[in-house]
Amino acid sequence: MEIKDKIVPLLQEQFPETNFEVTDFRGDLKIKFDASLIVPVGNFLKQHDELKFNMCEDVTAVDWATKKKRFTIIYHIYSLENKFRLRLACDVEENHPHIESVVPVWKSANWYERETYDMYGIKFDNHPDLRRMYMPEEYEYYPLRKEYPLMGIPGDLTLPKK
Amino acid sequence: MGLEAKLMSDGFLTTTIDALVGWARESSVWPMPMGISCCGIEMMAVAGPKYDIARFGSEVMRFTPRQCDVMLVAGTVTYKMSHVVKKIYDQMPDPKWVIAMGVCTSTGGMYRSYSVVQGIDHFLPVDIYLAGCPPRPDNLLNALMLIQDKIKNTKAREFQNIPLLEPVKVNGN
Ligand code: SF4
C-alpha cells in the first residue's frame, strides 16, 4: 500500500469526529479540515511512525476576497522518509483571522508564519516572535490582501530626505 | 604620450592646477559597491579579469563609504533599503558621484509595485543612469568613463561648491 493511500484512513482513525476534505490533483494530495485542529493533526502527521512528515516547507495563505471564510491558510509539509509531499489547508474568518501556530511542531514554520502575518495579517496564536518580516514594523497595511492597491497607498512608506 | 614619458624627455611640464587635479581624480575613482540585487553580479564581473575595472583606476572597491568617490547602486532599491542607501551615501566624503545601474535603480523598472522605490533620484542626486536589465559590464565601464569625463571637466574649486570669481580687471584693461 502506498503512503498516499494510508494518510487519510490513519487521520480519520485518529480524529473520528473530524471531516477531512481530500482533493487529489495530479498526484498532489490536499487535505482540508477545521482550523482549530491544525496543531494536533500536524503533530500526528509528524510523529506517526510510518508517515513522518518531518519537514515544513512553506506556510502561506490565499485571500478569496468574497467568501465568508475569507482566508485559506496553506501548509506544505514533506516526509523525507517517504519522499512524499502533502498540503494542509484551513479556512479562517475575515474578522480577526487567527490560527494556532505550528512552531511547536515544525520549528521552520517560524519565519513562514511571520511572512504570512506580514502579507495577510493573519495572527498566529502563541507564535514565539510574531513580528513583520519584510515591511517596516510600524506599517499598517497587509500588502497581499486583495483590497490593497498594487502601487501601495500614497505616503504609507517614507523615503529619506533628499 | 603618458606622464612618465613626458617627464623623461623634457623633465618638466606646463599645466594648470585644475587639469592636474582633474587628471589625478579621474584616474582614481574608488567605487562604493552597493550590490543590492542581480545587477550586483554584473558589477562583480566588471571587477574580474575579463572586463578589469583596474584599467580605469577604479579597482579599489571599498566596503566602507568613508574612502569612496562614486557609489554604484546596483539593484532594486526598496523603500526599506532606501534609508540604508541614503545613510551610506551621507557618510561618503565630498566630492561624490552616483551611478544608478540598471532599470530598477533608475526608474523602478519592471517592479511597478508598492515596495520598490520608482527611481533612486527620489532621494539621491544621480549622475549617470544606466539602461539595461542588467546592463552589460562594458556598459558600466562606459558609465565610469562618463563620470571620469565629468570629473575632468570640473574645476577644482567647484568640488567645494565655491563659485568661481569674476576675472579681476587690472588698471582698467
Ligand atoms: S535592472 Fe534587472 S538585473 Fe538589475 S537589479 Fe533590476 S531586475 Fe536585477
The domain locations on chain B are: 30-152
Cβ of B103 less than 6 Å from ligand 1: yes
Closest CA relative to residue A55, chosen from A86, A83, A80: A80
Q: What is the structure's pLDDT at B161?
A: 60
pLDDT of res. A58: 93
Contact status of B86 with chain A (Cβ, < 8 Å): yes
Q: Is the pLDDT of residue B173 over 60?
A: no
Asked if B67 and B104 count as a contact pair (C-beta separation under 8 A), the reply is: no
A143/B79 Cβ within 8 A: no
CATH node for B30-152? 3.40.50.12280
Interface probe with B: pick from A131, A144, A147, A162, most Cβ of B within 10 Å: A162
Considering only the beta carbons, identify the residue of B79, B86, B125 that sits closest to A157: B79
pLDDT for position A115: 93
**Position A61 pLDDT exceeds 90:** yes
Q: What are phi and psi of B130, to 5 degrees?
A: -110, 125
Q: Which residue has the higher pLDDT, B11 or A24?
A: A24
Residue B134: CB within 6 Å of ligand 1? yes
Residues of A in Cβ contact (< 8 Å) with B87 = 160
Per-residue confidence at A153, pLDDT binned at 50, 70, 90?
confident
Closest CA of chain A from B9, distance in Å: 50
Q: How far apart are CA A106 and CA B69, in angstroms?
A: 48
What pLDDT, on the 0 to 100 scale, is given for residue B160? 64
Q: Using CA positions, which residue lies closest to atom 5 of ligand 1?
A: B75
Note the pLDDT of residue A76.
94
Give the list of residues 6+ apart from residue B158 with CB closer than 8 angstroms, or none: B164
- Contact B37 CB / ligand 1 (< 6 Å): yes
pLDDT in tens, A120-137: 999 999 999 889 988 888
pLDDT for the residue numbered B162: 57
- CA–centroid distance, residue B48 to ligand 1 (Å): 19
Structural domains in chain A, sorted by start:
3-125 (3.30.460.80)
| pLDDT value of residue B164 | 59
Chain A residues close to B126, C-beta within 8 Å: none
- Among A9, A1, A3, residue whose Cα is nearest residue A80: A3
The band of B10, judged by pLDDT with boundaries at 50, 70 and 90, is: confident
Q: Which protein residue has the closest C-alpha to ligand 1 atom 6?
A: B104
Task: Please tell me the predicted confidence (pLDDT) of residue A154.
Answer: 83
